Chain A
């Protein structure tokens, strides 16, 4: 049970160190080095120009992706062998936003709704480019923190991230997946007659290519709807380990690269250790509450009563407003006669073992990947806290580049408070942190809770949310909460059980009826993803540039050190405290209430 997570985390930690050093060497090598680089190099940029270049290229990418998806019916036959039709406009908008924001939230099912052309040019291309965008942002921030006058050149950074990191690594992983049996073909569906005598169309396509970069690039948008639970997307135990390790290795390497570039490895080591501690804790929590606990829906359950032994009471009122206290009689339940010694098996791919699900769930949500190899909706309620927490904090290694940037926001808050507590104006890396820096950090800090809580509240109170959820009560609330958390964390994993798929524009062309509120979900999550992508990138770049312009102060015995165990504890504590203060109420309303309350609840 513990072998798999230890293997995956251990292997990625070891791999991340040489990879991070390699990345620092190839990505941070100054001006253009060859003819092509000279062609795209527009010279050193300050933070405004850098951000402008980034936004410009993203606008182009958005437009291009939108056009590819919107012209699906006219894709040439070899890219559309199954003759797929037009998608609904909101699905196109949502998908274009989702892949631009490196979120890969999928309100569609790839094998059903997308042509190979859309898969390659609408999805795969952005899956390659958006991690490089995140990496470029981190390079800019790091150069600012290092005190460079200019933050580098965006085009160069993007290009190098693409050709030196994204492409070569996905070639290696893709080849390994092909060896493990993942399909890689441009031919259409295969129609077979099953043992039961039924004809079945089996979807295939350029799967290995999509899957490799989906895992490596903290993307998560699977070729197939069921993502890496699908046997063609994740066929063997080894492919599971490779895919799981691919999720986190680049985000880990980013921290190593950060230390090398800053020439301050001890500080990066503290950051890395704090992130690792969170990762281990969340994996541990997931396994302990899911793989080591029975599925509560099948287990014995005592009658639900208060501490005084009496049933809980609620005050009800009828339409006229007359109040009445009612006892909530939740009787004891006898469990089903199932062996639950192997933990909760619902929604798991048993091929991979019992702990593979929670391990993947933790890793995929700590980084902003969002691919899945089990159904998060079927995790035990408390185990559902693992993926939610990973996304709420959104800085435990996190998305490529952006995860570390998110951590810097928490770090600034920690530095500010701890700096004051040692009796000095707070400093980070020898630069004074003052009002302007705190303004930018606050902006980046505010965006995440705002973009999660406001739409969750809105959808929970309206039919938009309640009519879209599969389950009533806290579990349904968790489904809504998860969707917006996943969007704002640019994660893209789904709790599922949410009616958010519209699909083809022609309702009759869809295998299942379009969900009534799917357009609402498409638009809301689309907007959340865009805002949640760019606010926490631009504000920190401005922050770093602002620090870069300051005169460095030398270290003294009175300076707060950022490379000590004490500081690691401060950082850890700040993340726990600030994260808890933002999300404790929704955690209580969702997973915790789900765990404590009656099962099933409602209907």
Chain B
């Protein structure tokens, strides 16, 4: 029955794609081809800024052709007009290339994913009513193979029950209704360590395309063909489902407004230049004076330089790259909007376990409660834990071995290990020498000792409470009917977590710890970790209520969850990140899925969102600030023929009017590919507070935006002059 279906191993693909550099040659080639295809006006129309460039380019080319036919129509030399046309076309191609490259990177990811989506045979149960699955269904059906049919996965419907065994690929998204299995999810997560999926509880969700490594499970399919998680993920990554986000639309509007303003500025320069030509002609006593001010391609060049082409060209790429960056962090956002909203998050709900603490409690101290030494308590506790394979048990033995003054550790030989049960809530060992050692939760041990007629140490309750107040868990150790001491188990904070929260605070984000601990313990841990608030004894309802309360105050809330009972809270939160290991309900409710199921991801999600917005703002500012230098290059050139003394405004000392205009156009075009890496990688986000961040970005992108083109245009002009093309 094993491994009848062979599948390609897509893990390597995914990893390779993710490692690919920004400018992998195959991506570049694909993007370059696509850049030409995208020149189609119906595609350009979606980007108003670049559409204006395209219309201007057509106008300019037509004018150049007319000039070639009748040289009298323009004062500009033909070679200059041709050069202008070439650079205008290049501007368009560079813009398309930026978008195409971002899309190609997405496509490469999608292709890798698609390999896992091949048609897999599914073994479906032939039942009418699939809603009720009594225990033992799996076994009973296996004994009646006639009731199992094999269908292609594309024909599965939601609600179908399928059996998946070791070596087989899970045919579709679903939920484990019976059985437990280890599953290799590397196809989508890139992580090779297998994960356990079992019926009931919060680890019941399975994803189509992943492979069962051991055991057998009964899965209820939850998504029909083509609608699975994987399908949606591919569509998103490919950009097919990409919709413009609210912020992108607002920015697009601002860019359109600037474009319109510059259209008015440029268009009205034509009659104004006519006016200047007329009076210069009268001044020198000629019939007419020729200047570049009334030359249509030159005015188109001015327009293209002024309108925010830099950001117009990179805007789409920035959006796609934002999704892509999230995906590289192994987070699948269900929409671009979700990533954007993440940048605005004010409150983070973080699970204590796994996010703030290591998640496994460890022994940190032995405290004597009778007339024994701490080392002796440690010895007894270690003996009681020798057979205990849980991390807690192991940590007790480890701690004893590290305790100074402890003898050579030797596990008890013989004797009878007593395992932990839900009834006794204690574990321990009956040694061959007749000693009975137990360890357990304080109330359980107290009852046990009282039942055996043992004395309770006088300050027991006080001691136990003081340990709990520090956020730790006390375990009592008994020998016979006597309590000898307690072991302090502490949930150790993750290293560097305090600094992380400090960073978040500087970003203006409130952190809230969610824990099932009692308020006392929760408070202690919250203080140690440096979170702003905590929800103790958290129930799903408490989480939901907290989120609603924050939202009523106008705050945006992000949370992470995995269980079905987290679903309402995930849906309510503005950013709900479901763990991939979680239930299908949780994944449906959230607007992002973390493939790594790593609770600290929330912080990265927020940073990706902020980076996305910042990159847009920075490049827009840069683009608009660039115009100052372009004006100083172009305006004197436009009027060199009519108001030659405006040359005094040409601070850059450019060689000739035509070289000045050409240099500005070339700079405007070249800056686009130069900024592609920044558009794709994003502007570096520093958690330093809004004011400092603003100052920094203004200095780099605002002031830089004013200064850089002066240098750039001058350099291009020098190069043109050196090449004899000025």
Q: Does A424 contact B (CB under 8 A)?
A: yes
Q: Which A-B residue pairs are the 8 nearest by beta carbons? A: A558-B508, A420-B617, A423-B610, A556-B508, A461-B271, A316-B286, A442-B257, A457-B268
Question: B374-389: contact bitstring with A at CB < 8 Å (1 yes, 0 no)?
Answer: 0000000000000000
List the one stretch of B20-28, B413-421, B627-635, B662-670 in contact with chain A. B627-635
- Mark the stretch among B158-166, B247-255, B514-522, B714-722 that contacts chain A: B247-255
Binds A, one of B349-357, B429-437, B465-473, B638-646: B638-646
User: Which of A65-73, A471-479, A506-514 faces chain B?
Assistant: A471-479
A393 to chain B, nearest CB (A): 14
Are B289 and A316 in contact, with the CB atoms below 8 A? Answer: yes
A425 near B254: Cβ-Cβ < 8 Å: no
Cβ–Cβ contact B701 & A421, under 8 A = yes
CA distance A436 to B87 in the complex (A): 36
Q: Is B492's beta carbon under 8 Å from chain A?
A: no
Which residues of chain A come closer than 8 Å to B344, judged between CB atoms? Answer: 424-425
Which of B254, B690, B698 is within 8 Å of A416, CB to CB?
A: B254
Determine if B508 and A557 form an interchain contact, defined as CB atoms under 8 angstroms apart.
yes
Residues A419-467 near B (CB distance < 8 A): 419-426, 430, 433-435, 437-439, 442, 445-446, 449-450, 453-454, 456-458, 460-461, 465-466
Can you sample 23 A-B contacts with CB below 8 Å?
A317-B289, A418-B617, A420-B251, A421-B693, A421-B694, A425-B247, A425-B343, A446-B261, A449-B265, A454-B264, A457-B271, A461-B274, A553-B346, A553-B555, A554-B554, A558-B690, A566-B694, A581-B628, A588-B636, A588-B646, A589-B643, A592-B649, A593-B645
Option from A313, A321, A437, A476 in Cβ contact (under 8 Å) with B72: A321
> Does B506 reach chain A (CB closer than 8 Å)?
yes
Does chain B have a CB within 8 A of A212? no
Q: Which of A421, A460, A477, A585 contacts B635 (CB 8 A)?
A: A585
- The CA-CA distance from A326 to B282 in the complex, in Å, is 13
CA distance A19 to B557 in the complex (A): 44
Interface size on B, residues (CB 8 A): 92
Most interface-central of B265, B289, B290 (chain A CB within 10 A): B265
List residues of chain A with CB within 8 A of the CB of B246. 425, 434-435
A472, B279: Cβ atoms closer than 8 Å = yes
Of the residues B249, B265, B274, B340, contact of A585 by C-beta under 8 Å:
B265
Bound CA span A412–B264, Å? 22
Q: How far is the CA of A413 from the CA of B693 in the complex (A)?
A: 18
Do A453 and B287 touch across chains, with their CB atoms under 8 A apart? no
Q: Whose C-beta in chain A lies nearest to the C-beta of B686? A: A423
A-contact 0/1 string along B692-724, CB 8 Å cutoff: 011101100110000000000000000000000
Across-interface contacts of B275 in A (CB, < 8 A): 460-461, 465-466, 477
Q: Could you tell me the distance between the alpha carbons of A422 and B693 in the complex, rounded to whole angstroms?
A: 6
Given the known inter-chain contacts A416-B250, A434-B246, A556-B509, please indicate yes or no for A421 contacting B614, CB distance below 8 A: yes
Least CB separation from B71: chain A residue: A321
Chain B min CB distance to A195 (Å): 43
Q: A421-B617, A460-B275, A466-B279 are in contact. List 20 more A-B contacts (CB 8 A).
A: A304-B645, A312-B647, A316-B281, A318-B287, A416-B254, A423-B685, A425-B340, A425-B343, A446-B257, A449-B264, A460-B271, A461-B271, A461-B275, A554-B555, A581-B624, A584-B635, A589-B272, A589-B639, A596-B643, A602-B282
| 8 Å CB contact of A421 from B306, B554, B697 | B697
CB neighbours (8 Å) of B261 from chain A are: 445-446, 449-450, 581-582
Does residue B41 face the partner (Cβ distance < 8 Å to A)? no
Q: From known contacts A421-B698, A577-B628, infer whether A560 and B646 are also in contact, taking CB-CB under 8 Å.
A: no
Q: Mark A159-199, 1 if CB is under 8 A from B, else 0.
A: 00000000000000000000000000000000000000000
Query: What is the chain A residue whose CB lies nearest that of B625?
Result: A577
Q: Considering the chains assembled together, what is the distance between the CA atoms of A424 and B340 in angstroms?
A: 8
Is B180 located at the chain interface by the 8 A CB criterion?
Answer: no
Assuming the A-B contacts A554-B555, A561-B690, A581-B624, are A421 and B618 also in contact, with contact meaning beta carbons closer than 8 angstroms in the complex?
yes
Flag whether A309 is at the interface (Cβ < 8 A). Answer: no
Q: State whether the Cβ of B278 lies closer than 8 Å to any Cβ in chain A.
A: yes
Query: Is B270 an interface residue when CB atoms closer than 8 A count as contact?
Result: yes
For residue A437, which residue of chain B has the nearest CB?
B250
Name the prevailing secondary structure of the A interface residues: helix
Q: Which residue on B lies nearest to A439, using beta carbons?
A: B253
Residues of chain A contacted by B124 (CB below 8 angstroms): none
Task: Determine if B271 and A314 form an interchain contact, defined as CB atoms under 8 angstroms apart.
Answer: no
B648 adjacent to A596 (CB under 8 Å): yes
| A556 lies within 8 A of B346 (CB) | yes
Cβ of A109 within 8 Å of any chain B Cβ, yes or no, is no
Q: Hey, which chain B residues are within 8 Å of A457, CB to CB? A: 267-272
Verify if B620 is at the interface (C-beta below 8 Å from A): yes
Chain A residues within 8 Å of chain B by Cβ, number:
85
Q: Which residues of the other chain, A, contact B274 by a CB distance below 8 angstroms?
A: 460-461
Report how far A439 CA is from B346 CA in the complex, Å.
Answer: 27
When chains A and B are docked, how far (Å) is the Cα of A378 from the Cα of B507? 55
Closest B residue to A564 by beta carbon equals: B691
Contacts of A567 in B (CB 8 A): 694
Task: Determine if B584 is an interface residue (Cβ-Cβ < 8 Å).
Answer: no
Inter-chain contacts of A418 with B (CB < 8 A): 617, 694, 698
Contact of A430 among B72, B286, B554, B694 (CB under 8 A): B554
Which residues on B sit within 8 Å (CB–CB) of A593?
639, 643, 645-646
Given the known inter-chain contacts A466-B278, A559-B690, A589-B276, please indicate yes or no for A453 contacting B283, CB distance below 8 A: no
Given contacts A421-B693, A554-B554, A557-B507, whether A317 and B617 have CB atoms under 8 Å apart is: no
Q: Are B641 and A597 in contact (CB under 8 A)?
A: no
Indicate whether A328 sits within 8 Å of B644 (C-beta atoms), given known contacts A564-B691, A588-B635: yes
Give CA–CA (A435, B260) in the complex, Å.
17
A586–B621 CA distance with the chains assembled, in angstroms:
23
Q: How far is the CB of B246 from chain A (nearest CB, A)?
A: 6
Cα-based distance from A561 to B698 in the complex (angstroms) = 15
User: Contact: B610 with A588, CB < 8 Å?
Assistant: no
Q: In chain A between 569 and 603, which residues have their CB closer than 8 angstroms to a CB of chain B?
A: 569-570, 573, 577, 580-582, 584-586, 588-589, 592-593, 596-597, 601-602
B554 near A314 (CB under 8 angstroms)?
no
A319 proximal to B (CB < 8 A): yes
Q: Across the two chains, which residue of chain B brings its CB closest to A455?
A: B268
Contact of B641 among A314, A324, A423, A573 (CB under 8 A): A314
CB distance from B66 to the nearest CB of A (A): 15
A11 neighbours in B (Cβ, 8 Å): none
Distance of A581 Cα from B631 Cα, bound (Å): 8
* A281 at the B interface (CB under 8 A): no
Q: Tell me if B256 is interfacial: C-beta within 8 Å of chain A.
A: yes
Please indicate the chain A residues that have their CB under 8 angstroms from the CB of B271 in the complex: 457-458, 460-461
Question: Does A581 contact B254, Cβ atoms closer than 8 Å?
Answer: no
A350 to B250 alpha-carbon distance, docked (Å): 53
Instruction: Give chain B nearest CB distance to A484 CB in angstroms.
Output: 11
- Chain A 283-302 against B: per-residue CB contact (8 Å), 1 yes, 0 no? 00000000000000000000
A595 CA to B111 CA, complexed, in Å: 64
Which residues does chain A contribute within 8 Å of B616, judged by CB atoms? Answer: 420
**Complex: A558 Cα to B685 Cα, angstroms:** 12
A573 to B260, CA, bound (A): 21
Given contacts A312-B645, A315-B641, A556-B509, contact A435 B249 (CB under 8 A): yes
CB within 8 Å of A: which B310-350 residues? 340, 343-344, 346
- Bound: A324/B507 CA distance, A: 66
**In whole angstroms, how far apart are the Cα atoms of A413 and B624 in the complex?**
12
| B276 neighbours in A (Cβ, 8 Å) | 477, 589
Q: From the candidates B262, B506, B645, name the one contacting A596 in the complex (CB within 8 A).
A: B645
Least Cβ–Cβ distance between B73 and chain A, in angstroms: 10
Cβ-based interface call for B148 (8 A): no
A424 to B306, CA, bound (A): 27
Most buried by B among A419, A450, A453, A580: A453
Q: Known contacts A458-B271, A460-B271; is A420 also within 8 Å of B284 by CB?
A: no
Residue of B nearest to A432 (CB): B344
Q: Does A423 contact B693, Cβ atoms closer than 8 Å? A: yes
A306 within 8 Å of B (CB atoms): yes
- Across the interface, which residues of A come within 8 angstroms of B282, CB to CB? 472, 602
